[in-house]
Amino acid sequence: MKNPVKRVVRSIRNSYRFVDQLHRAKATERLEWETRELENIFSLLTIGAFVGMQAPPMHISLELLPYMENELTCMTNRVCMSNDPLADLFSMLDGM
């Protein structure tokens, strides 16, 4: 009599673990996406004068330039490979 109850409890526990791992993976993906977007926004705010946006004084941007190698690489990659930013956003929201 105890054996079927243990199976049910084990099954419920395993399904809970699976759902927990799934949600953790999705949360990690969303955080990585948001981090990339925030890096892109920071880059645009800091060196926006190169694309015609109002930016901080040029000497501040030039002083930050050596430290922003990764952000510049990220920006140039996004410009080269960007096709539809709204599609990226909706694909991220699709999993909710």
DSSP-assigned letters across all residues of the chain? -HHHHHHHHHHHHHHHHHHHHHHHHHHHHHHHHHHHHHHHHHHHHHSGGGGT---S-HHHHHHHGGGGHHHHHHHHHHHHH-S-HHHHHHHHHTT-
Q: Is residue 67 part of a domain?
A: yes
Average pLDDT in the chain: 77
Q: Is residue 41 part of a domain?
A: yes
Q: Is residue 12 part of a domain?
A: no
Into how many domains does the chain fold? 1
pLDDT digits (tens, 9 = 90+) for 18-57: 988 888 888 888 888 888 888 878 877 777 766 677 777 7
Q: Is residue 16 part of a domain?
A: no
Q: Is residue 17 part of a domain?
A: no
For residue 62, give its domain range. Answer: 28-93
What pLDDT is stored for residue 82 in this prediction? 61
Q: Is residue 15 part of a domain?
A: no
Q: Read off the pTM.
A: 0.52
Q: Sorting pLDDT into bands at 50, 70 and 90, what band is 13?
A: very high
pLDDT at residue 9 tops 60: yes
Q: Is residue 57 part of a domain?
A: yes
